[in-house]
Amino acid sequence: GQNIDQPTEMTATEGAIVQINCTYQTSGFNGLFWYQQHAGEAPTFLSYNVLDGLEEKGRFSSFLSRSKGYSYLLLKELQMKDSASYLCAVRDSNYQLIWGAGTKLIIKP
């Protein structure tokens, strides 16, 4: 079966750095997405990785290792507004999106 694993919940301190991991086992690979979802709001696109390596976008970076079936989302200089759920999703060989259950990130002052 196809599976995406990510931690259920993480806590970090304002101003710090946090890394949210995502591991996957899918039938093929056609890219990995990270989405942010604030409580009661729509998920919004954060990043897309299809090749190995690090993609940086401001305070957020996303890393991919296809050989290890592994990705992480790195958030720097954490702000209170970064409190949200972070969803990892992989597009398989049929271009279907396989979703993780999301990681709830709690930022404390």
Partner 1 sequence: ETGVTQTPRHLVMGMTNKKSLKCEQHLGHNAMYWYKQSAKKPLELMFVYNFKEQTENNSVPSRFSPECPNSSHLFLHLHTLQPEDSALYLCASSQASGDTGELFFGEGSRLTVL
Choose the stretch contacting partner 1; rule: CB under 8 A; options: 10-18, 58-66, 75-83, 93-101: 93-101
Alpha-carbon distance 78 to 87, whole Å? 18
Site for partner 1 in 73-92 (CB under 8 A): 87, 89, 91
Q: Tokens 């999301």 — which residue? A: 102
Which of 40, 53, 58, 109 is the binder for partner 1 (CB under 8 A)?
A: 40
- Give yes or no for residue 99 binding partner 1 (CB under 8 A): yes
Query: For residues 75 and 72, what is the distance between their CA atoms, to the nearest angstrom?
Result: 10
Burial status of residue 23 (CB atoms within 10 A of its CB: 0-12, 13-18, 19 or more): middle
Q: Does 30 bind partner 1 (CB under 8 A)?
A: yes
Phi then psi for 66, rounded to 5 degrees?
Answer: -70, -35
Q: Is 39 one of the binding residues for partner 1 (CB under 8 A)? A: no
- List residues near partner 1 by CB under 8 A: 4, 8, 30-31, 33, 40-45, 48, 50, 87, 89, 91, 95-102
